[in-house]
Amino acid sequence: MQQPAVTPAPIAPIAPTVPEARHRLVEVPGGRIHLVEQGTGPLVLLVHGFPESWYSWRHQLPALAAAGFRAVAVDVRGYGRSAKPRAVDAYRMPAHVADNVGVVSALGATTATVVGHDWGSPIAANSALLRPDVFTAVGLLSVPYAPRAGARPSDAFARAGGDDEFYVSYFQEPGRAEAEIEPDVRAWLAGFYTGISGDTMPEGGEGALFFVPRGGKMADRFPARGTALPSWLSEADLDVYAGEFERTGLTGALARYRNVDRDWEDLAAWHGAPINQPSLFIGGTRDASTTWMGDAIAAFPTTLPGLVSSHLLEGCGHWVQQERAEEVNRILVDWLRALPATPNTPTPVI
């Protein structure tokens, strides 16, 4: 008797796909960049931070596409399915800027608006600073723009910890944070995301997580295991993030912290330089980035002379575009629609 034909089950993607979105790998001079794109129209490049991925923009991709924009969320080099060079100095800021320029070119465009969150914010800011010919507007989320200053960053971070150790100094030592995180990536990410989210952060706890007890671990300051996840993060969302880092490890992602002094040296020619393009800032009132960097926000009239609007979302923590997706989408779309038209409207490349 002839057996009925069996249809093979589809292979599950590495991460859930956004409806109508397209995953692509594009070649740039530094290797390859994985991206997810949705929509057609003026190009908007979305750059995530630590410890995240393109998936951090899952709420923005369909919203920007519906508003008439070509939204493209990248995996930054060192993350996800993008290139992961072995050399630590391959992750210095000009390399990230070059990746962004390469993505714009690979997509058949000549100009784009760039929007970044967390580490993606300084990557976006420096993309606009170094290549104003390509990046005609810049949106910064959570981390405000602060031009290159006089002090070597590692020296400043070493002083910031006091009796504890500031997290940047902790992350800078090769292998140290990896030894803490990689044995149980999912639990560490859950603690990190929860500890700096507006609705799960302990009252008065802004920034406490970023100070590591001497001889201890960063997780020593996390909320207790079993604490409920923040409202913006489902168990399935956490599985996506954990799955990516369980596959790739954390070294590429942590390399950004291990290049801050190289960045300072590389950007000497732009010491104190403003960003003149139209700009936007969105932060949360419960985010240590906005409280510690209040002086940077106050300096926006000088450092961001093209600033269109600045927003501090009441009660919001660090993960603004995920914690307050609808509000951030509205702000982004209103800002993007008000930007001057550029002569080089990008078109999709098949």
**Candidates 48, 96, 117, 318; catalytic one:** 318
| Rounded Cα–Cα distance for residues 220 and 224 (Å) | 9
Q: Is 59 labeled as catalytic in the residue annotation?
A: no
| Main-chain dihedrals φ then ψ at residue 205, nearest 5 degrees | -95, 10
> Active-site residue 318, yes or no?
yes
Q: What is the dihedral of CA 19, 82, 261, 297, to 10 degrees?
A: -10
Among residues 38, 43, 23, the alpha carbon closest in space to that of 107 is found at: 43
CA trace torsion 51, 52, 53, 55 (10° rounding): 170
Residue of 75, 99, 118, 263 with catalytic role: 118
Beta strands in the chain (DSSP E): 22-28, 31-38, 43-47, 70-74, 112-117, 135-141, 165-166, 211-212, 279-284, 307-313
Between helices 120-130 and 93-106, what is the axis angle to 10°? 70
Q: Which helix (H) or strand (E) holds 98?
A: helix 93-106
124: nearest Cα among 26, 47, 34, 52: 47
Q: CA 84, 127, 64: angle at the middle one, nearest 5?
A: 90
Task: Name the residues annotated as catalytic.
Answer: 118, 318
